[in-house]
């Protein structure tokens, strides 16, 4: 998707290991978001950022942490991966509160 990339696209990891997903944007948008998508649940907000070093929790933040040290990068860390964190993770960006989001292509994470 133009202006926003997620890495890696796929990852398999073992239970108990830390995992970091990266979201990179070239749009200079202020707001960045991490969602997870699971069957039957739609998309649920994990964490979001409203500026460099400014982050807040979303609906399902337990077990996750984030960091944003520069405008273009928003990192999501699973501190100790569990099987319940197997999911597809989407990053999104928005320029302000009055516009829609632009989503990345997603990271499919499998915790075994």
Partner 1 sequence: SQQGEEDPQALSIQEGENATMNCSYKTSINNLQWYRQNSGRGLVHLILIRSNEREKHSGRLRVTLDTSKKSSSLLITASRAADTASYFCATAQNTGTASKLTFGTGTRLQVTL
Q: Which of 50, 69, 79, 80 binds partner 1 (CB under 8 A)?
A: 50
CA distance 23 to 33: 9
How far apart (Å, rounded) are the C-alpha atoms in residues 85 and 71? 26
What is residue 61's DSSP assignment?
Answer: -
> Exactly one of 40, 53, 70, 112 binds partner 1 (CB under 8 A); which one?
40
Judged by beta carbon, residue 43 or residue 75, the one nearer partner 1 is 43
Closest approach of partner 1 to the CB of residue 90, in Å: 6
The helix or strand, by DSSP H or E, that contains position 65, with its residue range, turns out to be strand 64-70
Rule CB under 8 A: choose which of 43, 61, 72, 73 binds partner 1: 43
Q: Does 44 bind partner 1 (CB under 8 A)?
A: yes
67/38 Cα distance (integer angstroms)? 23
Nearest to 103 by CA among 46, 34, 47: 34
If one asks whether residue 97 binds partner 1 (CB under 8 A), the answer comes out as yes
Return residues touching partner 1 (CB under 8 A).
1, 31, 33, 35, 40-45, 48, 50, 54, 56, 58-59, 90, 92, 94, 96-106
């Amino acid at each position: 998707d133009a202006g926003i990339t997620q890495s890696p696209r796929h990852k398999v990891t073992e239970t108990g290991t830390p995992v970091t997903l990266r979201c990179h944007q070239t749009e200079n948008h202020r707001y960045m978001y991490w969602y997870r998508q699971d069957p039957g649940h739609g998309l649920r907000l994990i964490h979001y950022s409203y500026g460099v070093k400014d982050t807040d929790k979303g609906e399902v933040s337990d077990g996750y942490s984030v960091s944003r040290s520069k405008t273009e990068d928003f990192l999501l860390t699973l501190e100790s991966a569990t099987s319940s964190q197997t999911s597809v993770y989407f990053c999104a960006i928005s320029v302000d509160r009055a516009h829609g989001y632009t989503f990345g292509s997603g990271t499919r994470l499998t915790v075994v």
